[in-house]
A and B are shown apart, each in its own frame.
Chain A
């Protein structure tokens, strides 16, 4: 019988306990403040990251896991598993998929690398479905097909406090069009084919939440069953408000999760970000 091992990177932005409890191997990216290098989530939980970001005023840098790290993880898993599926953040934003691809060639058992074309809660939602499918005894091919389908349907709407971090981090993509406004504007961004794209602009911090819910409603339509994830970067208060507004609006959620945006994704989203991830069930 097939035994399937699941690997993901830290930008799924799930707490470490999730990986332990669900038998998923997580490979961390790293975040660097000046000379200090930390493993995303493992050595640098989100709360500490946003504090450091505020206190040090240093623009952190991020790095993909090395090929060697992936080789090590895959090799170890190849003793117990007959097929490894490795899910990672958008290859347009990071070389992680690249590292994994290079490592794959050194492994005896089949390793399938999947480019999620998204980040954070988006990967989290996909990963949850993969774990479910594995636990139901689905084959590797089935799991891979299922995952690809979700990736095609996955949507992201995020409201950032500023585009500064995306810009300085060189990940601004098409959202560049939103730069430079003299009015105080909250940019909403989305992902198009794995890169950042502009979604809409909103004036006034207080209207942000209502606009997020309105956007979600427009995207989802009436009563369509969805899987929904919310994430925030050091913005618990607004996230709670957003959650309440979404509950009041009454979406048909088949699954729901709330996560924090970790240090690597937070390096580009900046503090105060709010994000909605969702995909419709067929």
Chain B
């Protein structure tokens, strides 16, 4: 474990950062909503680092000065987009400090962090918080605390990574557009990925892949937004007596996201504008241009949006009819995206079902009606919706559970339908409710308020004790081939009753597994499934 880094190690560390950044490239692209949601932040950062590595390959890696020059040169020449330019300046900041010392120990590294922040902030005309800039600054502040200690290089990166991650998570609080989209800052994410890569290289440990911080699903529903400035314009300007602030002033009113940064005897310019021609004309009067790139951001945005839609489309939407908080929660946890309130006493309209079907982002939707009186209504939705709608004819909640458990996302749609239909035929369901008025069951008088045990839609047992009725109902349903009994209870069942019901069932069916969940369903004290 090193207290110092050798010049040749710098390459290794950049490579480590690069490889982890590359792993997350597409994820970062998808996060990109600021300053323009054109979904190329990850790609830009990767290409920037790639350019550095290419320059480094050409240089003499044994000679520190030429190595550092190669890195800075590569960063400047290869920088792409907002994020690429800021990243290149961060790297330049590090290198400018490294250049001044023969060995790089933790003190030098900590200074380099501070310098990186300075250089990066200088590069941006109007620094915005909640971006990569904030993340690197917070990390730099955190490592400053190690200044008076003798620490390992990796310790510095460890502290930086921890703070960078925290800072990243705070970016939506600083930048409202991120919060609206439900994402963290893409460039900040990229920076964190790089630091992770550097640290794992130092520690020679496998990279712990950063979990999805947030996928901007919201983007799909986002209303059409018009771009104030259409063209992302970039170029490198070479010439004598170039002045950065001079050029900045001249370009300031031509658009936004302006960045003008210094490299060796040349300026790299990035601006979003409606008049790229004017910008280039102005620049030509000051020097010679190279690496001109003009992108239509509207096109980029549309391309990206269609990609996102295609992605969401690969999924299947599931809509279920249910009531009872517990049941709804379980359904959602098993993959139901939208729930229509309803059931035995309240059958939803086709309109209500249609609304939720349309609300699913996918073009194929499965409906679980969970009641025999709702199946027909659901069938109607098929003709009303332009989407492909399939009904799994579930007549109760336990069947929906079984159908959902049988659903596996990466299987084909047809296979899933087959598995789900098979699954619902394997579950037997009993229910217990109270008689709402005096009635007659199988020739016997049953008074209002007594418990009724229902199996296959018929009242098969009645009595005053919930426990006894449950136990007798179970005897009529359970066979030796079954192995799992599930109780869904509601608030009318007391804790003591639950305990007794479970105890009885365990005694009676010792070979079976017994599970109990709070379904919260109205009317039925218990819904029992046996499979």
Contacts and interface: CB of A to CB of B under 8 A. Distances in A.
Contact of B484 (A169, A170, A201, A206): A206
Interface string A184-206: 11000000100001111111111
B401 A205 contact: no
Contacts of A201: 405-406, 408
A252 interface: no
B209 interface: yes
A134 interface: no
Interface string B299-342: 00000000000000000000000000000011001110000000
A174 B212 CA distance: 12
A271 to B, nearest CB: 20
A61 B402 CA distance: 36
A92 B210 CA distance: 15
Contact of B405 (A64, A170, A203): A203
A181 interface: yes
B444 interface: no
Contact of A185 (B206, B405, B483, B512): B405
B127 interface: no
A62 interface: yes
B207 to A, nearest CB: 8
B406 A200 contact: yes
B208 interface: yes
Question: How many residues of A sit at the interface, in one of the four size bands?
Answer: 20 to 34
Interface of B is mostly: loop
B410 A198 contact: yes
Given A183-B330, A206-B484, A206-B513, A66 B204 contact: yes
A198 B408 contact: yes
A205 B205 contact: no
B408 A204 contact: no
Contacts of A94: 206
B333 A182 contact: yes
A95 interface: yes
A235 to B, nearest CB: 17
A199 B334 contact: no
A93 B122 CA distance: 41
B3 interface: no
Contacts of B517: 182-183
Contacts of B515: 183-184, 203-204
Nearest to B512: A206
A170 B208 contact: yes
Contact of A192 (B207, B410, B483, B486): B410
A192 B205 CA distance: 25
A214 B405 CA distance: 16
Interface string B378-414: 0000000000000000000000011001101110000
A170 to B, nearest CB: 4
Contacts of A177: 335, 408-410
A187 B320 CA distance: 23
Contacts, number: 70
Nearest to B511: A206
A181 B334 contact: yes
Interface string B185-210: 00000000000000000001111111
A66 B206 CA distance: 11
B483 A206 contact: yes
* Residue picked from B207, B408, B512, B517, most chain A C-beta under 10 Å: B408
A63 interface: yes
Contact of B409 (A64, A66, A174): A174
B206 A204 contact: no
A94 B517 CA distance: 40
A197 B410 contact: yes
A197 B205 CA distance: 24
A207 interface: yes
Interface string A12-48: 0000000000000000000000000000000000000
A180 interface: yes
Given A200-B406, A201-B405, A206-B483, A182 B206 contact: no
Nearest to A170: B209
Q: 5 smallest A-B Cβ distances: which pairs? A: A204-B484, A182-B333, A170-B209, A177-B409, A182-B330
12 contacts: A63-B204, A63-B206, A95-B207, A170-B210, A174-B409, A182-B330, A182-B334, A183-B405, A184-B515, A200-B408, A203-B484, A206-B513
Given A183-B334, A197-B410, A203-B515, 19 more contacts: A66-B204, A95-B206, A169-B208, A171-B209, A182-B334, A183-B401, A183-B517, A184-B515, A198-B408, A198-B409, A198-B410, A200-B406, A201-B408, A203-B484, A204-B531, A205-B513, A206-B484, A206-B512, A207-B483
Interface of B: 204-211, 329-330, 333-335, 401-402, 405-406, 408-410, 483-484, 486, 512-513, 515, 517, 531
